Homo-oligomer: A and B are copies of this chain.
Amino acid sequence: MKERIKIFRELIKEKKMLTAMETLIEWDIETTASPKNAELLSKMIGDISMRNYNLSTSDELNALLSFFMNNRTKINKTLKKEVEILTEEAERIETIPPKEYQEYSELIAKSHSVWQEAKVKKDFGIFKKNLKKIFEFTKKFAKYEQNLEKNKNKSVYDILLNHYEKGMTTEKLDIFFDGLKKEIVPLLKEVLKKQKKSDIKIEKVDINTQRDFSKYLSQYLGFDFTRGAIGESAHPFTTSINKNDVRFTTKYTESDPLSAFFSTVHETGHGIYEQQVGDNLVETILETGGSMGLHESQSRFYENIIGRNKSFWKGLKKTKKLYPQLQKINIDTLYSIINKVEKSPIRIEADELTYSLHIMVRYEIEKEICEDKIAIEDLPKIWDEKMREYLGITPKNVSQGVLQDVHWSCGLIGYFPSYALGSAYASQIYHTMKKDLNVEEILEKGELPLIQQWLENKIHKLGLSKDTNEIIKKVTGQELNPTYYIDYLKYKYLELNK
């Protein structure tokens, strides 16, 4: 047993190194590499991911996994969890014929630029064929997975949901989104009616100043720059080489300093999570944050619950580090500016209140495609209908409509619901946090480390060692309950627009 664990650790070390290499090359592509060099860097990623694939499906690793599985009672909790995750991964990969997987990978590699072209040219027709194939492959692979004993009763879309959020089902999500729809659609109408118009415009802030401030802000929130870095990219993201080297990006727009402000706060939330994974997990594959939804809960907690909180801004104003352009605006006006509700066609520009409606549109479309209820050809039309229904607006063109998101072109289907789940988890966690901490006071005093430590102890240090369900239940005393999210939104936005 001891000898086997030693060999296993060596393989995991190798696997983690390969994953870290891929992460590093991807970081470079997004932040530094010349676009003219995209082909070479993609080739590097292909090379490394093939080595990683070979390692994951190697007889050596599989034999060890079987051995540990058969001796489940004799290994510690951490190893057990690792074995479960790796076995699941291997089982899943093995349901797919290698040739089809290869074809699919090539399709995905090509689709990003096709999607980009379609978006630029505002022409769904350009992307239609690729999108159709991506959904076909995805459905086909999910059907292969249905052959696994544990999946025999799961629908295609449920299988996809499980890739990002273990234990999530269409049934649960239908209830979740129905609840949101019933409450948020009327709330939105009410808020939009009551919301006062303000003619205060945020003045521009030069990009160097924004860059310096973003670093300050991230540090203020608790990000540790001795174990991480900030970069710039077209689409902000966070990535982790390991817990000692966590990186995120922001995108700066001179005329809209709040854009980088909130994306920095959001990514800092992801980053702090990765930096606070427990030291006991560093040699394991559990050295990373939990499910997509849980990860998103941390970034949204920081972005919305902290970042759009009046007390947080009071605290920030006291530091005198805020841009003079913002410092001079009184706190109530500022608070209403950063929480202004608007019917925008674009998800990533949406406010807290409309955000989940955007997700709902995507959720329903994905689900219906997987249930063979709608055809890819009809997507632009269906998209616009749903936008009218939930948000009351019609996108001007497909680039502001069905083509706006990158996800489907990367094969991420079943991923969108995690965003809404993240917001809901965040509110539920916040509800519990307030029992332990006087959050408002902490924010006014700028004592952000207290919040950070609370999250570390309750969530972050666990890494991937527990499922999201378990963590949420242990921290909040119950499973996902969207009531907290709805109550949070109602209270905040009715109070703000009295």
Contact between A20 and B36, CB atoms less than 8 A apart: no
A180 close to chain B: CB less than 8 A: no
Q: Is the interface of A mostly helix, strand, loop or mixed?
A: helix
Asked whether A47 and B17 contact (CB < 8 A) given A34-B227, A34-B229, A226-B36, the answer is yes
Residues of B within 8 A of A96 (CB): none
The answer to whether A34 and B226 touch (CB under 8 A), given A17-B47, A24-B25, is yes
Instruction: Determine the chain B residues whose CB is within 8 A of the CB of A34 once the complex forms.
Output: 226-229, 244-245
Could you mark each residue 1-42 of chain A with 1 if its beta carbon is under 8 Å from any beta carbon of chain B, else 0? 000000000000000010011001101100011101100110
Q: Which of A20, A21, A226 has the most CB of B within 10 A?
A: A21
Complex alpha-carbon distance, A47 and B244, angstroms: 20
A226–B37 CA distance with the chains assembled, in angstroms: 10
- Max chain B CB contacts within 10 Å: which of A40, A209, A212? A40
The reply to whether the CB of A44 lies closer than 8 angstroms to some CB of chain B is yes
Residues of chain B contacted by A27 (CB below 8 angstroms): 28, 32
Q: Tell me if A242 is interfacial: C-beta within 8 Å of chain B.
A: yes
How far does the alpha carbon of A38 sit from the alpha carbon of B41 in the complex, in Å?
Answer: 22
Q: A208 contacts the other chain (Cβ, under 8 Å)? A: yes
* Structural contact, B244 and A36, CB atoms closer than 8 A: yes
Check A43 for interface membership: any CB of B closer than 8 A.
yes
Say whether A231 faces chain B, with CB atoms less than 8 Å apart. yes
B208 near A37: Cβ-Cβ < 8 Å:
no
Which residue of chain B has its CB nearest to the CB of A246? Answer: B34
Q: At the interface, yes or no: A247 with Cβ under 8 Å from chain B? A: yes
Asked if A32 contacts B244 (CB within 8 A), the reply is no
Contact of A227 among B24, B25, B36, B41 (CB under 8 A): B36
- A221 on interface, CB distance cutoff 8 Å: no
Q: 5 interchain pairs (CB within 8 A)?
A: A17-B40, A27-B32, A37-B227, A37-B242, A40-B242
Query: Besides the contacts A34-B227, A208-B208, what 19 more A-B pairs have beta carbons closer than 8 Å?
Result: A17-B43, A17-B47, A20-B40, A24-B24, A27-B28, A28-B28, A34-B226, A34-B228, A34-B229, A34-B244, A34-B245, A36-B244, A36-B245, A37-B241, A37-B242, A37-B244, A40-B241, A40-B242, A208-B212
The 4 closest A-B pairs by CB, nearest first: A208-B208, A37-B245, A36-B244, A34-B245
